[in-house]
Amino acid sequence: MKKVYSSATEALDGLLFDGMLIAAGGFGLCGIPELLIDAIKQAGTKDLTVASNNAGVDDFGLGILLQTKQVKKMLSSYVGENAEFMRQYLAGELELEFNPQGTLAERMRAGGAGIPGFYTKTGVGTVIADGKEHKDFNGETYILEEGIFADIAIVKAWKADATGNLVFRKTARNFNAPAATCGKVCIAEVEEIVPTGSLDPDCIHLPGIYVHRIVQGAHEKRIEQRTVRKG
């Protein structure tokens, strides 16, 4: 089975359609699938629902899909760095489903494991719980959260081999691994493709069985917030 593709556009060929649900990896601007996001922008696919920890910044990451108004709804836990996101939401142009970070990660992981829902205490007694089923276990109240089953997952890894085994780097592991598992098709962009068999099995963070397509490329690696001391 061929998994390595020559470009992000080729890797997405035949997978995009209007109104689809996309699970996107990344944490802030760390480990975001920037090449695949740009290819989706160029394809013009619209009315998207995107499940991602955040929405990028105004001119980078998922923020570029907000600029072109290709996103209809976001399932996110943090959106504080994107002014265009705020403007669209306050204007009623964008739907938002807020998720606590752990809940969002578990919703992706649950979807990847074929689990349709789970109960959690997180969010009980807050607006997060509005409209959700409540159930008591051992005298404690929990709310039902549904697993995320995405049409595609787009993720970024540090290294991959040709069979799709992935190695993430540091903070990039936070959401890329669970996001990758919950898509019907997972496309991974990577910094380097190494020979099959060269990765230490104990250092592989996501087995290749979850990954269907791979593309290698150059990445910008922006810093979201730079804080320095005066000299």
Residue 65: pLDDT band (50, 70, 90) is very high
How far is the C-alpha of 230 from the C-alpha of 140, rounded, in Å?
50
How far is the C-alpha of 30 from the C-alpha of 170, rounded, in Å?
9
Among candidates 80, 20, 77, 14, which has minimal Cα distance to 46? Answer: 20
Given a cut of 80, whether residue 222 has pLDDT beyond it is no
Task: Please indicate, yes or no, if residue 142 is contained in any of the structural domains.
Answer: no
Range of the domain at 211: 4-115+149-216
**Are the C-beta atoms of 162 and 3 separated by less than 8 Å?**
yes
3-state DSSP assignment of residue 129: helix
pLDDT of 205 = 97
Task: Please indicate, yes or no, if residue 184 is contained in any of the structural domains.
Answer: yes
Given a cut of 90, whether residue 71 has pLDDT beyond it is yes
Task: Please indicate, yes or no, if residue 177 is contained in any of the structural domains.
Answer: yes
How far is the C-alpha of 79 from the C-alpha of 69, rounded, in Å?
16
Residue 40: pLDDT band (50, 70, 90) is very high
Beta bridge partners of 145: 118
How far is the C-alpha of 59 from the C-alpha of 215, rounded, in Å?
23
Given a cut of 90, whether residue 224 has pLDDT beyond it is no
Give how many domains the chain has, as a whole number. Answer: 1
CATH number at residue 11: 3.40.1080.10
pLDDT of 80 = 73
Task: Please indicate, yes or no, if residue 124 is contained in any of the structural domains.
Answer: no
Per the prediction, the chain carries an average pLDDT of: 94
Task: Please indicate, yes or no, if residue 195 is contained in any of the structural domains.
Answer: yes
Q: Which residue has the tokens 């959690």?
A: 120
Given a cut of 80, whether residue 1 has pLDDT beyond it is no
pLDDT of 125 = 95
Using only the alpha carbons of the chain, give its radius of gyration. 18
How far is the C-alpha of 127 from the C-alpha of 108, rounded, in Å?
21
Task: Please indicate, yes or no, if residue 54 is contained in any of the structural domains.
Answer: yes
Q: What is the mean pLDDT of residues 15-22?
A: 98
Task: Please indicate, yes or no, if residue 127 is contained in any of the structural domains.
Answer: no
Given a cut of 90, whether residue 152 has pLDDT beyond it is yes
Q: What is the mean pLDDT of residues 160-179?
A: 95
Task: Please indicate, yes or no, if residue 92 is contained in any of the structural domains.
Answer: yes
Residues 6+ apart with CB under 8 A from 132: 143, 144, 145
H-only helix segments in the chain: 8-11, 34-43, 63-67, 83-90, 101-112, 173-181
How far is the C-alpha of 149 from the C-alpha of 21, rounded, in Å?
8
pTM: predicted TM-score of the whole model, two decimal places: 0.93
Among candidates 178, 187, 165, 158, which has minimal Cα distance to 10? Answer: 187
